[in-house]
Structure 1
């Protein structure tokens, strides 16, 4: 977004720029090898990956569901666990200048993690979106959308729910070089077992959390 604006050099009235709150960009090689690994385990080509199966686990449950060519499904947190360890993020992510409240777009969108801190009781675990208004143009468009759609827009105090990417980049893990050395020497299956060997426990945890949320015994606080 910043590159586009720098290239154009001037503001265009008919150009609306929208960016996102980005957790980080993982290595495409890791994802390709993950698909090959799961395909080998399931003995079928993978045709679809749902990175957040909200239907079965809710918005707060980060469980990926893999579907094969024959329609077989498998729930997993292997890729999720690797992602949240931040070892597979691109090096530039650790020094990203756009981790903060200041964004180059007219509007910034994201999942509203921390909604229960800013607006207790609002989340239904189906998903709440965060929209940050950065310019007058962005505000005009949002106001127009509020009147021409069925969205429910509520103003909240973002300072009560500052998710990490709105503060600063994630720190580079101390053992990232070791992770990649292990990867290059031993392949994906090795690092899957060494660094995410207990990922199945996350699936169980998120399944229990979804049940508790359905019973209104647990709040989304991520």
Structure 2
């Protein structure tokens, strides 16, 4: 697994605003979109492309276009949905699938409750969106799920991660024998006893969409 932590003042600025408990949900959603657009620039560095001829108003030249099959963007429900717009802004021709995973708050183990993906992901590059890499279980489970469908290149984009989550995620994906890259805006201090990232930014899903009934 390759780890990339973005070191850029705009990334840190937006992350600081996201951490502030006074930031309301509409502003939080907008900041997440902006931050993910910055993260996706780095995350798509290895996106597969094909040479193509193009004619400008002046002359013919050679360029690049996304290869087929198109990349697949996979937000992990529900918080990952808040990252989708920022990613699609950079790569609007990509396809989108969904995986619903929830963490058991006693065991911290992930459980899959929904998925909407092609049955065959052979030769597909996948970009997984999950704001918080806490224990690493949900993200690792999603990556394994995609690899079992045939995906051969995975890039995961997270806003924040805990050191414990990064290490656990590394262990979960190292046996898959598929290139896996983790792109994040920041690594925080630790997990607390409830499995939340410290200092973190709270529950990303609740801050994006409000508390569930």
Q: TM-score, normalising length from structure 1?
A: 0.21
Structure (1/2) with the larger helix percentage: 1
The structure that is strand-richer by fraction is 2
Q: Which is greater in Rg?
A: 1
TM-score for the superposition, normalised by structure 2: 0.21
* Structure ranking higher on relative contact order (CA contacts 8 Å, 6+ apart): 1
